[in-house]
Amino acid sequence: MWLSDLRREGSFFDTWRDMDYLHREMNRLFSGERLPFAQGYPAVNVWADENEAVVTSEIPGIDPKDIEISIEGEMLLVRGSRKLDALKEGEKYHRQERDHGNFGRRIRLPFRVDHKSVEARYERGVLSITLHRLEADKPKKIQVKTE
């Protein structure tokens, strides 16, 4: 009976989602992670060839001024902050699933990059970072000599 009541109320599957969220938050709490978002936020895609790498990430609802990008060796760090939506007088949340606060993500790059040529764009909630490989790190073709 209680199972059919939960399904009818629409909270049966929400309970599992809530438990998953609680599990992730407990892991974050005990791992020493100080950032409120899950460790894998924001999710990224990385493409690379021998000359450059492109990192993309969906981080909607963020002011581009609140995004910080830095490079340390072969590590790319993307940090930012999402502000809590302002409520009008008399409003209160009925449901709040979108996280707010600070986030950060470290991504190991496939090679060292030229810091001076990094390009970052933020369009329609998608951050795109193009990282050019250091000239000294590019593969060199070596001629094989014969006697």
One digit per residue, pLDDT tens: the chain, 147 residues? 444 444 445 545 567 777 777 877 777 666 554 444 455 788 899 999 989 999 999 998 888 999 999 999 889 999 998 888 888 899 888 887 777 788 889 999 999 999 899 999 999 999 999 999 998 888 888 899 998
The answer on 42 and 74 residing in a single domain is yes
Q: Is residue 91 part of a domain?
A: no
The answer on 124 and 67 residing in a single domain is yes
Per-residue exposure over 31-61, b if at least 16 CB sit within 10 Å of its own CB, e if not:
eeeeeebbeebbebebeeeeebbebbbebee
- What are the start-end ranges of the E strands in the chain? 44-48, 52-58, 67-72, 75-82, 101-108, 119-123, 126-132
At 133, which CATH number?
Answer: 2.60.40.790
Strand order in the sheet with 126-132: 44-48, 52-58, 126-132, 119-123
- pTM of the full predicted structure? 0.66
How many separate domains does the chain show? 2
